[in-house]
Amino acid sequence: MKQIILLLAFLSLGAMQSLSAQTTQSKVVKTQVKQKQKIKQGVRSGELTKREAKQLKKQQKGIARAKHKAKADGQITRKEKATIKKRQARAGKNIYAKKHNDKTRIN
């Protein structure tokens, strides 16, 4: 009986960890998608110059490479998650700063 309870507890713990990883991963993906949309919107509205957009897109590619590298071994560690989230936060600040500076694209 104790073995069955222990087995069920172990399986439920594993399922919870898997669900937690998926939730965090989906937040990372959502953030990445939103940031890309903000860059596209900035280009369309003229808030971003071509050079600024290029810099921001390069930063997004770097984050995507970091995510891919973190997934390569099949599991993303807490340190890797923290690094990716930190890079996304920095990218978000850069997008805001570049969209709200005095530079605008001239058609």
49-93 pLDDT, tens digit per residue, is 999 999 999 999 999 999 999 999 988 899 999 999 999 999 999
Residue range 22-36, pLDDT digits in tens: 555 678 889 999 999
Q: Report the alpha-carbon distance of residue 71 to residue 80 in Å, rounded.
A: 9
Does the pLDDT of residue 13 top 80, yes or no? Answer: no
Q: What pTM did the predictor assign?
A: 0.73
Displacement of CA 99 from its chain's centroid (Å): 20
Alpha carbon distance 13, 46 (integer Å): 50
Of 99 and 23, more confident: 99
